[in-house]
């Protein structure tokens, strides 16, 4: 038996450059984003997740330039379904979304998990 590792090379992670390039990297169909991909917008927002014919739909992560971040489900470019939104001030909402708005069951954490409100 050989003691040579299957991958004998050292892997070094290279840090991401300080400025992100604007554009889309990922799967396409007929020239549109389709499948999994990453979009970096001119304003600094970044979306990583699934697309359907150029529209954000399915599961993904949207990071806003102001520091806010949404992780969850999308439909027709909007937060829709189950998701978590961390606001730039530290507040967090975990729950249901409908057409981009909080709705249904959810919990809002204000600054820390000790202070919260359910609805």
User: What distance in Å separates the CA atoms of residue 117 and residue 107, rounded to the nearest whole number?
Assistant: 6
Output the 3-class SS for the chain.
CCCCCCCCCCCCCCCCCCCCCCEEEEEEECCEEEEEEEEECCCCCEEEEEEECCEEEEEEEEECCCCCEEEEEEECCEEEEEEEEECCCCCEEEEEEECCEEEEEEEEECCCCCCEEEC
pTM (predicted TM-score): 0.77
Q: Which two tokens stand for residue 62?
A: 């949207």
CB count within 10 Å of CB 51 equals 25
- The pLDDT tens digits for 18-62 are 456 788 999 999 999 999 999 999 999 999 999 999 999 999 999
- pLDDT beyond 70 at 113: no
Per cent of the chain over pLDDT 70 is 76
The pLDDT assigned to 117 comes to 57
């Amino acid at each position: 038996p050989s003691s040579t590792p299957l991958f004998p090379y050292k892997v070094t992670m290279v840090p991401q450059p300080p400025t992100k390039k604007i554009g889309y990297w990922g799967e396409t169909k007929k020239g549109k984003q389709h499948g999994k991909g990453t979009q970096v917008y001119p304003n600094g927002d970044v979306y990583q997740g699934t697309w359907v014919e150029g529209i954000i739909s399915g599961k993904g992560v949207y990071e806003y330039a102001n520091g806010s971040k949404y992780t969850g489900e999308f439909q027709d470019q909007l937060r829709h379904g189950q998701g978590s939104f961390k606001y730039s001030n530290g507040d967090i909402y975990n729950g249901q979304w409908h057409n981009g708005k909080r709705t249904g069951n959810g919990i809002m954490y204000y600054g820390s998990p000790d202070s919260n409100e359910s609805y």
